[in-house]
Structure 1
Amino acid sequence: MSALPLSGVKVIDLTRILSGPFCSMILGDLGADVIKIEAPGGDSVRKQGHMVEGLSWYFAGFNRNKRSMELNLRAPEGIAVLEHLLADADILTENFRPGTLEKMGLTEAHLEQINPDLIVVSVNGYGSTGPYADRPAFDFIAQAMSGYMATNGTPETGPLRTAPPITDLVAGLYAALGAVAALRGREQGGPAQRVEASMMMSMMSMLAYLSSNALATGRDPVPTGNDHPIASPYGLFRASDGDIAVAPSTEVIVRRFLAELGLEHLLSDPRFETNALRLNNRVALNALIDAALADGTQDDWIARLNRAGVPCGRVQSLTEALTDPQVAAQDMVLRVPHPGRGSVGMTGFPIKFSQTPLGVRHPTPELGAQGPEILRATGYSEAQIATLIARGVLGNGNEPVG
């Protein structure tokens, strides 16, 4: 089997919580050797969420394919170890507040002196410049400030957050993409660049036609809940035994949808002849569609509409989605053995490679478990490693640092 796309790439990962670890997990999934540097006590997510045998499934789901080193970076010896690791690294990932690396002595000039080929990837809340650069960031706040939250919900509910920490995840995804692009640029003879992705700006880039319309008109979109802001009919409709999500995105598909329901004549009704008219008369149109769908079950209509080329599906609970046969066929739920802790369920790999399929090469690492072996492989003697452990600078996977 051929090597994974990022095989041979060394990543020193200073990130914690979610946005940064999601970025470094993607790089690890793609084949990079990710060395996760954790402060004494470890990433705080190690103690959050559902725990089995002392292992957080939340932490496990975002830190596979990494090796862990517990290192006290408040000690000069810890910074010296980090600098040693950076000397032959390809990428440094971090999600501190802007300026934190500099306070640690890792200025841009110093990092270039250590390793002129090092790519520094930063994930932060608002970007490293501008009036909000120093503010603490959290997904909920980034959802609110990006304009995203205001587009969710309805006029009655007011703004609503999205349940997953979407701004963390989108920023992490962009950071990983930026890291890969920077690697490619370096391979082509370009400079080793700094890459930055922020939660607020990443989320703003995802607002699609909502941003386009706001920029064109100067007006905010009206939150429409499950109805589409610029297409009708489109949304959740009620069959005899529950809701169906239907997405007729073009006039051709609208006609197919209405024809299947026996409602094609509505396209000659002055209220519904065009999409603009249908948007203005959405409530009346939706009521007619619900009345037609009430004659059949979810399964019946979903089968009929899909055969007719109308995108639709049932609203599934998360546990239903995780056990869906299509999800199983795509290997999107994994059970990963963790020695001494049983197995952990986690989502799989959404990117599929035909010749180098992705997999879990390393289960979620125990805190600091690989620290000594990592230093051993980079030239540290057993005596030097023992001294770092004795001084509370390095963890060995058994005793806490500090």
Structure 2
Amino acid sequence: MTALSGVRVLDISQVLAGPYAAMLLADLGADVIKVEAPGHGDHSRQMAPRVADNVSGAYLAVNRNKRGVAIDLKDERGRGLLHRLAETSDIVIENFRPGVAARLGIDYATLSALNPRLIHCSISGFGQSGPYAPRGGFDLVAQGMAGLMSVTGEPGGPPVKCGVPITDLGSGLFATYGILAALAARERTGRGQQVDTSLFETGLGLGVWEAVEYFHTGATSQPTGSAHRLGAPYQAFRCLDGHFTVGADGDRHWPRFCEVIGRPDLPGDPRFGTNADRLANLPDLVEQIEAQTSTRTRDEWLERLEAAGVPAGPINTVPEALSDPHTRARNMVVDVEHDTLGPLKALGPVVKLSETPAEVRTAAPGLGQHTDEVFGQLGVDADTIDGLRRDAVVA
């Protein structure tokens, strides 16, 4: 048994935020049908890295556990097929610019009239309302406009975006949260609803510390590098062979950290006695700490800090993180079989459920791989599907 057994999702989205949300639902057991345009399919199919000449790693990353159909939604016959699918589905996910779904006849008003229990999720750059609604959605732009880039990077340095597409992935997570809430509400009301979220609002929502600083002090947050704006020491420190991280801003860990680095006098220094003191004198604090940490290797410090119960860790590369024994023990790297490429590595499910666990069952589908299967299950006969294929309405 899976958590979302019997739930059908139509994924009419592209690239990242929408497909990521749909993949999370698929991992939990939902029957996710990915709907793409004949010919080119999801834009991510053309993106790097290339796993093979005609296979994109970007596409594989967020489309596992799905069945794939290819439909031309600009053709009335294609829209008719999509409407038939919507009548038997629980959830639709799309990430067109506001207005495009309505022109294609796949918006909430149209589809909910066919299926009042349908939950329709729209992910866009700026939401379905407001002055910026017509604008396109790009992670970089959203990070900038939501204030995230203004607080990322080193003090006094140029604007820096987060190293991962945080508003794209975050929007996928928030969309999943909204969809599951709507599913729970439907159990009580019997009705579906529209779920509306955006990259911009995700960026604002993730800036929770920065917002509270402004709301309550009037201060505008600035970049802090690897440091925390509310606690110190809580950052990366230089050592003999690189850097490592330390979280010793609490009253319990701060004196222990000082003992480990051979500076038990620092907590008694009036500049560093309280967390507020340490934040106010952070450059001096870092100078004092790094004078000590730069004398030994990362592994030496991590061993000593672990023994003392002080939170600390290495700064791993992506390969180091993926090969870490804890990563493997938590099943965060799994094997999945691709129809043409054979076994591939993939990230495992992040959330572990004891009774209805998520799992990686199948690799991402080829373009239109399940067109015959899906529409056959709807009762569309083979001759009709063949005729639609000849007219490029399906592929």
CA contact (8 A) 2:348 2:360 kept: no
Cα distance in 1, alignment partners of residues 22 and 367 from structure 2? 16
- Higher mean C-alpha displacement, 357-366 vs 59-68: 357-366
Deviations 1:174-210 (Å, cap 9, x if unpaired)? 1011111111110122531100111010121111221
**Aligned pairs (5 A) from 1:181-260:** 181-260=181-260
Amino acid at match of 2:43: S
Q: Match of 1:5?
A: 3
Aligned with 2:349: secondary structure? coil
Once superposed, which parts of structure 1, at least 4 consecutive aligned residues long, lie more than 4 Å away?
none
Cα distance in 2, alignment partners of residues 190 and 151 from structure 1? 44
Q: Match of 1:129?
A: 129
Q: Match of 1:37?
A: 35
Deviations 1:319-375 (Å, cap 9, x if unpaired)? 111111111111111232212213322211111122333222221101001011100
CA contact (8 A) 1:19 1:169 kept: yes
Amino acid at match of 1:225: G
* Displacement of 1:94: 0.3
Q: Match of 1:52?
A: 51
Q: Match of 1:398?
A: none
Amino acid at match of 1:29: D
Cα distance in 2, alignment partners of residues 332 and 323 from structure 1? 10
Cα distance in 2, alignment partners of residues 290 and 154 from structure 1? 17
- Higher mean C-alpha displacement, 194-203 vs 357-366: 357-366
Cα distance in 1, alignment partners of residues 107 and 121 from structure 2? 14
Cα distance in 1, alignment partners of residues 294 and 113 from structure 2? 70
Aligned with 1:59: secondary structure? helix
CA contact (8 A) 2:108 2:194 kept: no
Cα distance in 2, alignment partners of residues 59 and 105 from structure 1? 26
Amino acid at match of 1:191: R
Cα distance in 1, alignment partners of residues 291 and 388 from structure 2? 73
Cα distance in 1, alignment partners of residues 106 and 152 from structure 2? 41
Amino acid at match of 2:147: G
CA contact (8 A) 1:172 1:197 kept: no
Distance 1:109 1:198, change over 3 A: closer
CA contact (8 A) 2:70 2:394 kept: yes
Aligned with 2:265: secondary structure? helix
Q: Match of 2:274?
A: 274
Cα distance in 1, alignment partners of residues 249 and 202 from structure 2? 26
Q: Match of 1:153?
A: 153
% of aligned pairs identical?
39
* Displacement of 1:158: 2.4
CA contact (8 A) 1:232 1:275 kept: yes
CA contact (8 A) 2:117 2:190 kept: no
Amino acid at match of 1:48: M
Distance 1:44 1:108, change over 3 A: closer
- Higher mean C-alpha displacement, 45-54 vs 100-109: 100-109
CA contact (8 A) 1:73 1:79 kept: yes
Cα distance in 2, alignment partners of residues 112 and 244 from structure 1? 53
Cα distance in 2, alignment partners of residues 195 and 57 from structure 1? 29
Deviations 1:106-136 (Å, cap 9, x if unpaired)? 4544322211111001111111111100011
Distance 1:287 1:108, change over 3 A: closer
CA contact (8 A) 2:86 2:92 kept: yes
Cα distance in 1, alignment partners of residues 335 and 235 from structure 2? 34
Amino acid at match of 1:322: L
CA contact (8 A) 2:97 2:136 kept: yes
CA contact (8 A) 1:55 1:341 kept: no
Amino acid at match of 2:155: P
Output the aligned Cα RMSD. Answer: 1.4
- For residue 24 of structure 2, the aligned residue among 23, 26, 37 is 26
CA contact (8 A) 2:93 2:120 kept: yes
Are 2:344 and 1:340 equivalent residues in the alignment? no
* Displacement of 1:227: 1.9
Cα distance in 2, alignment partners of residues 270 and 45 from structure 1? 55
Amino acid at match of 2:124: N
Cα distance in 2, alignment partners of residues 375 and 125 from structure 1? 32
Q: Match of 1:118?
A: 118
CA contact (8 A) 1:60 1:344 kept: no
Cα distance in 2, alignment partners of residues 340 and 131 from structure 1? 46
Cα distance in 2, alignment partners of residues 201 and 82 from structure 1? 29
CA contact (8 A) 1:67 1:362 kept: no
Aligned with 2:189: secondary structure? coil
- Higher mean C-alpha displacement, 208-217 vs 63-72: 208-217
Deviations 1:149-189 (Å, cap 9, x if unpaired)? 10101232122111211110000111011111111110122
Cα distance in 2, alignment partners of residues 306 and 61 from structure 1? 35
Structure 2: where are the runs of 5+ without partners? Answer: none
Amino acid at match of 1:86: A
* Displacement of 1:318: 1.1
CA contact (8 A) 1:22 1:169 kept: yes
Cα distance in 2, alignment partners of residues 177 and 108 from structure 1? 18
Structure 1: where are the runs of 5+ without partners? Answer: 396-402
Cα distance in 2, alignment partners of residues 254 and 23 from structure 1? 40
Amino acid at match of 2:130: G
Distance 1:106 1:328, change over 3 A: closer
Q: Match of 1:100?
A: 100
Aligned with 2:123: secondary structure? strand
